[in-house]
Structure 1
Amino acid sequence: MGQAREVMNGMTEAIVRGDDEALRALYAPDAIADRPDGPRLEGAPAIVEYLMGFRRGFPDLSWENGRQYESGDTAIDEGHLVGTHTETITSPEGELPATGRAIRVRECDIVTVRDGAAVEHRFYYDQLDLLTQLGLAGSGAEAAAVPGPRAATDQAPARSTR
């Protein structure tokens, strides 16, 4: 396992545990992050606050790993965020009060590491799917059914390249 994979795994564990100090230690001070729901985040404190704001909204947050990749200084994870929106989500754009709804949203993280710390983090998820599962979008703002995990035989095996 390379350094990029170690950092990515540490990030995932810190987010799921809600450990902002451990998460902050994995980012370079001047790291940047691109996200689907707003402008670029600049600096470790801004990135950690954004991620932990989401995590606080889903106290039971977990990660279902789908695929993992690593090549040189970059690690990629594909999977699903799973949790129940029981607390307010805070972000630089404002607050989203708890809906009490469960989610299972496909998500992808791409992390580039230098000298043992993440310098760039790009994450992607389907915003419409998230809002629909929360009951905030769609026909009549009715929540969509939360997709269940696929059968193990339906999933592609995890791969790592170095």
Structure 2
Amino acid sequence: MGNAREVMDQFTEALTGTGDSKARTIAECFASDALAVTPDQGEIRGRENIVEYLLELVEAVPDATFESEYKHEAGNTAIDEGFLSGTNTGPVVLPSGETLPATGKEVRLRGCDTATVEDGQIVSYRLYFDQMDFLGQLGLLPDLPS
């Protein structure tokens, strides 16, 4: 197992773990000038902004667990594909900055993330998940005419 895999596993454990040090542990995984690309917020630059985004996700589904389907490592990049599951008991932050109240509904989302690591920290992070699937599982999409 290489350094990229170790950092990715540490990051995933921090993101889905509990405890008061979650924000600090997540932040330690990222370089100060890291870049993240997400399906809902686009490009996010800088450790502080990335951590803020990730903590909003965690707050929306605080009991989240990650079930890995595939783990890969190639050079300085680690890739995870799997399912994030949990209950929406916190507010959902929309790209506009608006928040929606918790629905109390359970979600199970397939996603994939990649982390490129240099000097023991993530410098580039990419997260992929289906936003429509997420909103649909929360019951937040309008009913479509049949």
CA, structure 1 residues 91+42, in 2 after alignment: closer, same or farther (shift >3 Å)?
Answer: farther
Q: Secondary structure at the match of 1:108?
A: strand
Render the CA deviation track for 1:113-137: whole Å, top value 9, x for unaligned. 0011000000000111101000011
Aligned residues: 140
TM-score, normalising length: structure 1: 0.82
Q: 1:77 aligns with which of 77, 80, 91?
A: 80
Residue 6 of structure 2 corresponds to residue 6 of structure 1: yes
What residue number does 1:133 align with? 137
**Structure 1 residue ranges without an equivalent (≥5):** 141-162
From the two aligned structures, give the one with the greater strand fraction.
Answer: 2
What residue number does 2:121 align with? 117
Q: 1:60 aligns with which of 58, 63, 85?
A: 63
Residue 106 of structure 2 corresponds to residue 102 of structure 1: yes
What residue number does 1:160 align with? none
What RMSD in Å do the two structures reach over aligned CA positions? Answer: 1.3
**Structure 2 residue ranges without an equivalent (≥5):** none
- Percent of aligned pairs sharing the same letter: 45
The CA deviation at 1:87 is 1.1
Q: Secondary structure at the match of 2:42?
A: coil
Render the CA deviation track for 1:81-117: whole Å, top value 9, x for unaligned. 1010011134663222101110000010010000110
TM-score, normalising length: structure 2: 0.91
Asked whether the equivalents of residues 54 and 89 of structure 1 are also in contact (C-alpha less than 8 Å), the reply is: yes
